[in-house]
Amino acid sequence: MNIRKAVLEDVPVLVKLRMDFLTSYVKPMTEEESRIIEEQLFIYFQKHIPLGDFIAYLCEINDKPVSVAFLTISEKPPNPNFITGKTAMIHNVFTYPEYCRRGIASKLLQLLIEEARQQKVSSVELLATEAGKPLYRKLGFTEAENTFMRLKVLDKDLLLMAELA
């Protein structure tokens, strides 16, 4: 088992793992949506890995990627909830089913949390599935009391027509 931080050369692997995650845990996508998301993922990873505000850890077994977890770091005006102004979000905690229950995701998460500490991040958030909650609680995550609201500024159909040129 080899666990390591992703580098630019890993972008195609990160895209594949992200797409596998999305098709496993998010609503079904059309071929057009999948194509656009894949293109945008390549652009995103190539931009943000060098900036250091996107970090991914991969687990490979026999040179085959089997698990991944992402961390994105944001900076905002500080407040009592994030005194340094830096917050992070964990995304895409994903392990192929045949490799689950081996502690891989836990190790990837521990590495991401340590990265957040090193970068002076005040808090780390994630969106948990019911299956993931026991692991996240074990690592010290608690359920937030905040209620987020969302406004979609760009309509999906408009994005598809514009093809995000």
The residues spanned by each domain of the chain are 2-162
Per-residue model confidence as pLDDT tens for the chain (165 residues): 999 999 999 999 999 999 999 998 887 888 998 999 999 999 999 999 999 999 999 999 999 999 999 999 999 999 988 899 999 999 999 999 999 999 999 999 999 999 999 999 999 999 888 888 999 999 999 988 777 777 777 666 656 555 555
pLDDT of residue 144: 82
**Global confidence as pTM:** 0.87
Going from the C-alpha of 96 to that of each of 17, 92, 130, the distances in angstroms are 9, 12, 17
Token pair of 135, please?
Answer: 């692991």
pLDDT of residue 81: 84
Report strand pairing: 2-5 vs 123-126.
Answer: unpaired
Q: How many Å apart are CA 120 and CA 146, to the nearest integer?
A: 22
pLDDT of residue 159: 61
pLDDT of residue 160: 59
pLDDT of residue 130: 86
Listing DSSP states for 14-49 in one string gives HHHHHHHHHHHHS----HHHHHHHHHHHHHHHHHHH
CATH of 2-162, one of 3.40.630.30, 3.40.50.880, 2.60.40.2700, 1.10.1240.10: 3.40.630.30
pLDDT of residue 25: 83
């905040």: which residue's tokens?
Answer: 146
pLDDT of residue 164: 54
pLDDT of residue 158: 57
Assess contact for 53 and 72: CB atoms under 8 A. yes
